[in-house]
């Protein structure tokens, strides 16, 4: 046997509660406990999860339609549940049979819509069967000449509605819900509206036909409104015992017959009467002929059996047999159009005499799921007036604290006209420098915001400027005649070997170099500043492309080429003349008492750019700018730009 993923066993609980758009509605809670095995009777109640809006009989591990799930539930001996996600489902008439209860749970009356695929009613509870509907809308059912346009409850059946809307149903009797001897009808937090008993039929919203045994009708925190029938447009009953209406709004139902018809609630001879507690009955009408005119006149009730007034009821006229603990002949100021709640409801203003008038008598939620009471007592009817929360903000600068008159309220904040987002007290909006406006509003447990947010204007000062740190001056060396040569900014790689050391290190421009140091500028250039003799001014020149030793004597700073040369051949030969002898050189550029010395001659600066180069051929001096003095033995030559002189070995 294989496990079917779409079918799970569960335990059914009658306690329900799920938030929906800021409200909490009762819901059937299903605790999963295992899986149904295909081919074997389940040991526990099963949950069938619908996952397609298709109108077919399929319900397997991959696809499960509502008709398929319904048939599968009927095939088990247990009380099963069908979950139906949001969507529109067109189905054939779905009829329960046998004793096990079938429960169908939608995603909300404003989200899950079930309607007939043809001209039929939508649901039928067969004799001795049980059907429960929760959190969905049943609409557009057509019962033809029979009873029950949207839902039919047959002999000895039980039907319960919770968070359900029955709308746009049509049948000869019971356009919304028709009962032909059902044993029990329970309607809670639901809306039955805009249904029609066609022709001369009765019971536009709800129709109860009595049988040899009783039909118990209990309606709690629900609305029956804007239904139409020849008579008994809201509710028509010939059943025993007395129906019970607690926290019900029965409004704006309209009879069509001019023959003493009733717009609201009508019970025929032999019916069990009615029990009213905390209900609101208003605006129901029936046509009244006066002369040549027909007018809609108030027509709330015509009850033949006993009426029990348990108090807290409000009626716009005095036709329902209400006593001193209720308010007949009172305009409740009930809205004439439905709001967008789930299911929709007819609202009351704060000034309504129905507000805070009724005992709650154990009722804890209104039709929308809003907790009762919101004030000192419950409101009459299906709607509980929910005062908007108020907001208080304290503080002149961030962080701000805020509070509300409603316990459990949350808060939303808007900075400088931006969108409102969730925030919590204390709150710092993190605004930058400048003047800002913060708006704060409380939101109650039902998602109802304060329509008048509180605002506070504040200024954030820019931070003090960051102090600019005082740069620590780099240490500088001072040239000292005969002792220290100052090295300036270099380029490339310049290395130095000080007297007494055997290795070259990278040049440190922050320190001078001792006279007698060797400087390697073959891969870079260096600026030297020297005082050639005591009392003289500093002199500066740039040297590069050579290896030299710097010394000072007789007011002259001398840079002597020290790179080792290859030995020169003693005799000329073809082989020797074909080879280039190794050279060493040094470029200089500057003014002052600087001398570059090669092996055979020395060039003393006169303000110029010059080259000294040693080779086996001699010492070459070449001037590109200015002039130098070349000393070659006893010979002294002034060499100008563009000229060269080769001091040959002797």
What are the beta bridge partners of residue 195? none
For residue 582, pLDDT beyond 90: no
For residue 34, pLDDT beyond 50: no
pLDDT for the residue numbered 176 = 98
For residue 575, pLDDT beyond 60: no
Separation in Å, CA 421 to CA 73, 413, 418, 441, 444:
45, 5, 9, 10, 15
What's the rounded Cα separation, in Å, for the pair 363 and 251? 21
How many Cβ atoms sit within 10 Å of the Cβ of residue 1?
A: 7
pLDDT for the residue numbered 475 = 62
Residue 182 is encoded by which pair of tokens? 């059902």
Question: Can you point out the beta strands (E) in 66-215?
Answer: 80-83, 87-91, 94-96, 101-105, 112-116, 123-125, 130-139, 151-153, 158-167, 170-171, 177-180, 184-188, 191-193, 196-197, 206-209
Beta carbons of 251 and 233 less than 8 angstroms apart: no
pLDDT in tens, 35-89: 332 333 344 789 999 999 999 999 999 999 999 999 999 999 899 999 999 999 9
pLDDT for the residue numbered 571 = 57
For residue 33, pLDDT beyond 60: no
CB proximity list for 182: less than 8 A, separation 6 or greater:
125, 153, 154, 155, 156, 157, 158, 159, 208, 215
For residue 5, pLDDT beyond 70: no
Q: Which of 55, 135, 147 is nearest to 92 (CA)?
A: 55
- Give me the phi and psi of 68, to 5 degrees please: -65, -45
| % the chain with pLDDT above 90 | 66
Looking up tokens 């022709």 gives 199
Q: If DSSP codes are grouped into helix, strand and coil, which group holds residue 196?
A: strand
For residue 212, pLDDT beyond 80: no
For residue 18, pLDDT beyond 50: no
Write down the mean pLDDT value for the chain.
88
CB proximity list for 510: less than 8 A, separation 6 or greater:
474, 475, 476, 477
pLDDT for the residue numbered 20 = 40
DSSP state of 510: T
Confidence of residue 23 (pLDDT cuts 50, 70, 90): very low
What's the rounded Cα separation, in Å, for the pair 353 and 359? 14
What's the rounded Cα separation, in Å, for the pair 268 and 237? 6
Q: Is the peptide bond before 241 cis (omega within 30 degrees of 0)?
A: yes
Q: Which of 477, 486, 481 is nearest to 532 (CA)?
A: 481
Q: Which of 485, 535, 495, 551 is nearest to 519 (CA)?
A: 495
Q: If DSSP codes are grouped into helix, strand and coil, which group holds residue 72?
A: helix
pLDDT in tens, 453-470: 999 999 999 988 888 887
Beta carbons of 644 and 628 less than 8 angstroms apart: no
Q: Which residue has the higher pLDDT, 151 or 617?
A: 151
For residue 360, pLDDT beyond 80: yes
Q: If DSSP codes are grouped into helix, strand and coil, which group holds residue 578?
A: helix
pTM of the model: 0.67
pLDDT for the residue numbered 524 = 92
Q: Is the peptide bond before 450 cis (omega within 30 degrees of 0)?
A: no
What's the rounded Cα separation, in Å, for the pair 245 and 186? 11
Q: Which residue has the higher pLDDT, 592 or 149?
A: 149
What b/e string do you get for 30-69 counting C-beta neighbours within 10 Å, with b at 16 or more?
A: beeeebbeeeeebebbbbbbbbbbbeeeebeeeebbbbbb
pLDDT in tens, 403-450: 999 888 999 999 999 999 999 999 999 999 999 999 999 999 888 899
Beta carbons of 289 and 309 less than 8 angstroms apart: no
For residue 19, pLDDT beyond 60: no
Q: Which residue has the higher pLDDT, 33 or 180?
A: 180
pLDDT for the residue numbered 24 = 36
What b/e string do you get for 571-601 counting C-beta neighbours within 10 Å, with b at 16 or more?
A: eeeeeeeeeeeeebbbbbbbebbbbbbbbbb
Separation in Å, CA 210 to CA 172, 228, 242, 634:
16, 21, 11, 149
How many Cβ atoms sit within 10 Å of the Cβ of residue 383?
A: 27
Of 136-140, 314-318, 494-498, 576-580, the least confident? 576-580
What's the rounded Cα separation, in Å, for the pair 523 and 328? 111
What's the rounded Cα separation, in Å, for the pair 144 and 154? 16
Strands 23-25, 18-20: pairing kind: antiparallel
């Amino acid at each position: 046997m294989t496990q079917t993923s779409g079918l799970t066993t569960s335990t059914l609980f009658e306690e329900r509660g799920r938030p929906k758009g800021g409200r909490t509605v009762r819901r059937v809670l299903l605790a999963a406990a295992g899986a149904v095995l295909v081919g074997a009777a389940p040991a526990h109640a099963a949950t069938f999860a619908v996952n397609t809006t298709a109108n077919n009989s399929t319900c397997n591990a991959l696809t499960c339609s509502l008709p398929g799930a319904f048939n599968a539930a009927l095939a088990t001996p247990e009380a099963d549940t069908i979950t139906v996600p949001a969507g529109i489902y067109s189905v054939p008439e779905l009829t329960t049979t046998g004793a096990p209860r079938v429960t169908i749970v939608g995603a909300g009356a404003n989200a899950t819509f079930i309607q007939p695929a043809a001209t039929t009613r939508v649901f039928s509870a067969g004799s001795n069967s049980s059907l429960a509907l929760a959190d969905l809308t049943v609409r557009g059912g057509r019962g033809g000449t029979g009873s029950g346009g949207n839902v039919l409850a047959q002999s000895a059946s039980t039907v319960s509605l919770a968070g359900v809307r029955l709308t746009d149903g049509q049948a000869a009797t019971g356009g919304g819900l028709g009962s032909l001897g059902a044993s029990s009808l329970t309607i809670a937090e639901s809306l039955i509206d805009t249904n029609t008993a066609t022709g001369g039929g009765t019971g536009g919203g709800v129709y109860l036909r009595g049988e040899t045994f009783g039909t118990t009708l209990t309606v709690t925190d629900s609305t029956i409104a804007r239904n139409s029938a020849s008579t008994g447009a809201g509710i028509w009953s010939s059943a025993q015992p007395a129906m019970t209406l607690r926290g019900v709004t029965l409004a704006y139902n309209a009879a069509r017959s001019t023959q003493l018809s009733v717009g609201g609630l009508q019970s025929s001879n032999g019916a069990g009467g009615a029990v009213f507690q905390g209900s609101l009955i208003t605006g129901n009408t029936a046509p009244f002929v006066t002369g040549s005119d027909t007018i809609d006149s108030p027509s709330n009730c015509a009850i033949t059996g006993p009426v029990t007034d348990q108090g807290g009821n409000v009626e716009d006229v005095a036709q329902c047999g209400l006593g001193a603990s209720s308010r007949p002949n009172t305009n409740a100021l009930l809205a004439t159009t439905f709001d967008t709640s789930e299911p929709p409801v007819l609202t009351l203003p704060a000034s309504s005499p129905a507000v805070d008038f009724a005992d709650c008598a154990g009722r804890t939620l209104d039709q929308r799921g809003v907790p009762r009471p919101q004030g000192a007592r419950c409101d009459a009817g299906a709607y509980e007036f929910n005062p908007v929360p108020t907001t208080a903000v304290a503080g002149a600068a961030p962080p701000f604290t805020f509070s509300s008159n409603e316990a459990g309220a949350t808060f939303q904040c808007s900075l400088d006209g931006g969108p409102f987002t969730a925030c919590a007290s204390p709150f710092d909006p993190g605004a930058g420098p400048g003047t800002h406006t913060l708006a704060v509003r409380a939101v109650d447990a039902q998602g109802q915001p304060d329509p008048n947010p509180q605002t506070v204007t504040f200024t954030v000062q820019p931070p003090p400027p960051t102090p600019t740190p005082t740069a620590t001056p780099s240490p500088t060396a001072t040239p000292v005649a005969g002792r220290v040569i100052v090295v300036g900014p270099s380029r490339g790689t310049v290395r130095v070997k000080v007297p007494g050391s055997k290795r070259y290190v990278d040049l440190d421009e922050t320190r001078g170099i001792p006279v007698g140091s060797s400087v390697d500028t073959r891969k870079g250039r260096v600026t030297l500043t020297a005082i050639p003799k005591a009392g003289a001014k500093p002199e500066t020149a740039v040297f590069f492309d050579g290896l030299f030793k710097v010394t000072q004597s007789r007011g002259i700073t001398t840079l002597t080429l020290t790179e080792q040369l290859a030995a020169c051949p003693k005799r000329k030969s073809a082989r020797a003349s074909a080879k280039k002898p190794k050279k060493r050189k040094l470029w200089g550029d500057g003014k002052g008492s600087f001398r570059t010395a090669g092996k055979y001659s020395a060039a003393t600066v006169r303000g110029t750019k010059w080259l000294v180069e040693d080779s086996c051929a001699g010492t070459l001096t070449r001037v590109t700018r200015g002039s130098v003095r070349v000393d070659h033995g006893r010979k002294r030559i002034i060499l100008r730009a563009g000229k060269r002189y080769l001091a040959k070995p002797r």
